[in-house]
């Protein structure tokens, strides 16, 4: 893809109507209905039929792999494209369309987005490029993103297609509980990454939006085996059960304490549980024996801003501290970013034994953010840097969750 010419993306609002690219509305309606029941393996054919109904040549879905190295086409006869060295990857990284000349027309690489989550890209081929065709390409990408999202919830084929290695059982069990990598709204976005992707057992993250409140959590369990993964899964299920029942932070953490004490009394985990009011910027959190969250403001880390007195890990609290969990609170400023991480991130070591370290960790995030990278791309680049630092052989699970607040003023 590197040798293809890049064509400026036209503004659809300024383009004239093109009568030569008529839309077959009745056929498109049939295809939208068909999309509800189509098998996941038939998505490539469906994409092409939808493109034809929109006056386009063809469309091909590429989904990002589990570690965000490759964009994998759903057409099994084609090879993946590198995220870091292709025009398709440029569209994925920047969440912006990219147009190239392939010698027989143009290819429009359109990001596939589910809310705030980057799924991959759609390659749309068309004879010529104008405003209507660009608009239809974006519409098609939006439609197919929703279809892919609905199908991948139950499709083993899509899951297998986006894997590049065999997943171990503890990781399979734990990943069944994980939410999408990125969620959010115009007011707040939360994004996370977790490695090693195929052999993780002791770390997990969770985030959810309930009305105007962003809920986030990071956990680091004892051990790295199936029992550790089971303990983390119980902790996540307990937290979600309490959250969905309307529990406040102390009750939520207390529910997880009781669940681990009842079902897995020999296991515990450290963690941080946060709630951000997206209307006011009020941040409340409980730290259960975990590294403190970091507050990034105006491209620098505010030392100690979110430190708090130590509290026992989750699962040991009922034995060690009968009093209620202590909730801490602060008010964020617009643009603030809060960083949660497990110790495997900063403890990663190179061949000489030198740690990746907290300073290198935070400096990377600040530099990438200052360069204009979106939060999800910042973490993708960071986790790859950590893997590279340790030659793709992490000694401990490494999990990072980053959320930021951007209030919407009238």
Q: What is the pTM of this model?
A: 0.91
pLDDT at 104: 83
- pLDDT tens per residue, range 124-177: 999 999 999 999 999 999 999 999 999 998 899 999 999 999 999 988 988 999
Q: Enter the CATH code of domain 167-405.
A: 3.60.40.10
- pLDDT tens per residue, range 83-99: 999 999 999 999 999 99
244: which residues sit within 8 A by CB, 6+ positions away?
none
Q: Rounded to whole angstroms, how far apart are CA atoms 10 and 177?
A: 41
Residue 320 pLDDT exceeds 80: no
Q: For residue 379, what is the enclosing H or E element?
A: helix 375-389
> Could you tell me which residue, 355 or 65, shows the higher pLDDT?
65
Q: What angle do CA 255, 261, 267 make, to 5 degrees?
A: 115
Average pLDDT, stretch 318-341?
Answer: 87
How many other CB atoms are there within 10 angstroms of residue 186's CB atom?
A: 10
Q: Among the listed ranges 181-185, 215-219, 327-331, which one has the minimum average pLDDT value?
A: 181-185
Q: Enter the CATH code of domain 6-161.
A: 3.30.450.40
Token pair recorded at residue 155: 């499709």
Mean pLDDT of the chain: 90
Categorize the per-residue pLDDT at 323 as very low, low, confident or very high, splitting at 50, 70 and 90: low
Domain residue limits, the chain: 6-161, 167-405
């Amino acid at each position: 893809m590197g040798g293809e010419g890049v064509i400026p993306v036209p503004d659809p609002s300024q383009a004239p109507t093109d009568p030569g690219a008529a839309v077959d509305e009745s056929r498109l309606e049939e295809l939208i209905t068909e999309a509800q029941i189509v098998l996941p393996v038939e998505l490539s054919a469906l994409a092409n039929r939808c493109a034809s109904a929109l006056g386009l040549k063809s469309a091909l879905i590429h989904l990002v792999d589990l570690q965000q190295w490759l964009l994998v086409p759903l057409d099994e006869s084609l090879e993946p494209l590198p995220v870091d060295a292709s025009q398709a990857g440029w569209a994925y990284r920047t969440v912006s369309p990219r147009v190239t000349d392939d010698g027989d027309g143009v290819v429009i690489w359109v990001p596939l987005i589910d809310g705030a989550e980057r799924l991959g890209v759609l390659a749309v081929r068309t004879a010529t490029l104008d405003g209507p065709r660009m608009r239809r390409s974006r519409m098609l990408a939006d439609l197919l993103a929703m279809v892919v999202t609905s199908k991948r919830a139950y499709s083993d084929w899509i899951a297998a297609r986006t894997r590049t290695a065999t997943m171990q059982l503890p990781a399979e069990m734990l990943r069944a509980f994980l939410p999408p990598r990125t969620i959010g709204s115009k007011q707040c976005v939360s994004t996370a990454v977790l490695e090693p992707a195929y052999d993780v057992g002791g770390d997990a993250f969770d985030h959810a939006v309930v009305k105007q409140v962003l809920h986030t959590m990071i956990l680091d369990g004892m051990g790295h085996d199936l029992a550790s993964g089971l303990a983390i899964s119980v902790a996540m299920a307990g937290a979600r059960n309490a959250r969905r029942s309307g529990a406040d932070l102390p009750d939520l953490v207390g529910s997880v304490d009781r669940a681990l004490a009842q079902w897995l009394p020999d296991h515990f985990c450290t963690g941080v549980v946060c709630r951000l009011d997206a209307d006011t910027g009020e941040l409340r959190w409980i730290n259960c024996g975990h590294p403190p969250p970091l507050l990034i403001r105006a491209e620098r880390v505010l030392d100690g801003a979110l430190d708090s007195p130590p509290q026992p890990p989750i699962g040991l609290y009922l034995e060690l501290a009968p009093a209620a969990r202590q909730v801490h609170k602060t008010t964020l400023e617009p643009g603030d970013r809060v960083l949660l991480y497990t110790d495997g991130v900063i403890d990663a070591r190179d061949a000489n034994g030198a740690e990746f370290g907290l300073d290198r960790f935070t400096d990377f995030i600040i530099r990438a953010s200052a360069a204009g990278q979106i939060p999800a791309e910042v973490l993708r680049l960071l986790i790859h840097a950590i893997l590279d630092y340790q030659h793709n052989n992490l000694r401990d699970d490494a999990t990072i969750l980053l959320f930021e607040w951007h209030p919407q003023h009238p």
